[in-house]
Structure 1
């Protein structure tokens, strides 16, 4: 591991000044992803700024009736928070489906948004990777790409975003509060993460000096009909091959509003507004769900080892929507066949 200096910030503006000083400065909170990256020599910061003492740990209501999640509140505290469980149970389930209890106790909400891909080649310094070294090539294309993306990919990168929490936040239409040297701004969750295009080294739209301070959930009720379905190789500490966050508002058996987001399939949490529109005003039947699922994957592209994800995603979408409509909520399922 390379040498680095360490400081502790106690105010947001001080943390921003520290981060603005050099491109090699990194914030550290829970450290559940950053420290792994440093051990593997993927990240080589010259300075770590400990932000655990910033006043960003609270979970409170917003003036418009929503809920604000502090960026430094832990994933565990967020998942078990009474208001999150009562008003946004989809988010609680998604968080609890991710990582392990030990990691959730350390990982922060802001850090969850910023975690890097778990692509095999990103972690293998002996292979080309455009995310790690822009312009070097993508080893996953043509390589062993079972965990890689099938939606929104590019010739430069087919990596996926690993978060479970972020899939639910995308479905719930959250916003992200950030602060930088130019002041504060609000970012729609759909605009926070980005697709790889020809610059896969950038995972999100944060400016280099900016820090995430909070995540806001809108005052909308999707607390009765929802499901977070996670398909993975094992139930203990495994990333999603495909995950689905589904939430419905029903008038009897008719869908009044719908939310649908996928994980494990793209460089960012994949929310499909067009598929949601197909659901609105329609009966909550399997036929309706299948039409929406087909629409979601119509532009999907497989790369050999991961082509199975296209059909898996279709089936997972239908299953998650059925569970949401029936109120039979689930947090996780297991996909055991390692050679589909």
Structure 2
């Protein structure tokens, strides 16, 4: 028995044995040292030292182990700090996160229960960091590196979701494609660094404008489709109504006033817009709404650029 107690006292986790009256029959050194605010020793009554336990789940679990022989596990996800335990005697900090297992024990026809306590604060901290890193990597996978808006992969997912919602609610949905006019000439004349700045500036200003524009659903999304071509998903907005929004977006881009000395369209950077819509119950699909918006954009560019064209209704 002495060897057994010595072994338990060497553990870097807590062990406590209670009888049916919640008397402490055994407590190892690690747990004694972690109870920095109270002195828990053999012979103590746990609920006299910690009366607040009587209203907590850990007390219920202890009683069920003693009275009904039911084991229990208190995970840190739902019960972060069941006991007032502190790392290295730091009472000014919060109690460390705990994993507690409660096991019923029968001996000489008497009921006991054993509490196994682990400090899982380091594990939880590591898990938080891993989750943050995973979230960051996932965000990077869905974000265009240059402009910070959604990339094409994210756009596909957003449009699929918007179509599903429009179908479920029988609501309107519009898709805008826009292209920076004569962007190759802009790059050739001013350089790729200026081109990158141009795209970043336009998406930043346009993103803010979309957020502040009345009548636009908060689920509206701006994405980079590729190169100088972008998309805007407008849930709950019919194509005819989307024309006015597209005109405001076109005007915003033009009024940014980025000089475009090589453009045959304007002295500043401009954009052309194509609009299509999705209507549940019709023949519209993900592919068709994209193709119609892209074709409308092509017509806007072929007709002189810096304008908005609505796809033909079918």
Q: What is the TM-score when the length of structure 1 is the normalising length?
A: 0.22
Give the number of the structure whose residues are more often helix, by fraction. 2
Query: Which protein is bigger by CA-based radius of gyration?
Result: 2
